[in-house]
Amino acid sequence: GENVEQHPSTLSVQEGDSAVIKCTYSDSASNYFPWYKQELGKGPQLIIDIRSNVGEKKDQRIAVTLNKTAKHFSLHITETQPEDSAVYFCAASKIGNEKLTFGTGTRLTIIP
């Protein structure tokens, strides 16, 4: 089955700087890659996703890049703000298979 690895497990960034979180996946048939943000005591919230027919997607300060050959994808947050502090999860899935395989999460702390 699919295996998703995520790095780093913790990340501290000065407010205003950029943060990058990386994930690799094992199943070359995976073609849908969402990112979720989870705040303390809440459920995960979808923040951005990308499909394998696209190499990059951007939404304001958040962007995701995908390298299908290397089987890795990354989340980029620019101009970080204190409210970006949370745990971020990457995930992978195949079209037609609705099960998501999640990474182990990155705890992002923005230092004011």
Partner 1 sequence: NAGVMQNPRHLVRRRGQEARLRCSPMKGHSHVYWYRQLPEEGLKFMVYLQKENIIDESGMPKERFSAEFPKEGPSILRIQQVVRGDSAAYFCASSPPALTNYGYTFGSGTRLTVV
Closer to partner 1 by CB, 14 or 58: give it: 58
Question: Measured in whole angstroms, how far is the alpha carbon of residue 93 from the centre of its chain?
Answer: 13
Residue among 27, 49, 71, 78 that touches partner 1 (CB under 8 A) = 49
**CB 43 → partner 1: shortest distance, Å?**
4
- For partner 1, the binding residues in 50-79 under the rule CB under 8 A are 51
The region of 14-22, 31-39, 61-69, 70-78 touching partner 1 under the rule CB under 8 A is 31-39
d(CA 23, CA 8): 9
In terms of Cα–Cα distance, which of 24, 30, 33 is closest to 4?
24
Our CA dihedral for 77, 78, 84, 90, rounded to 10 degrees, sits at 0
Q: Which residues bind partner 1 (CB under 8 A)?
A: 6, 31-32, 34, 36, 41-46, 49, 51, 89, 93, 95, 97-105
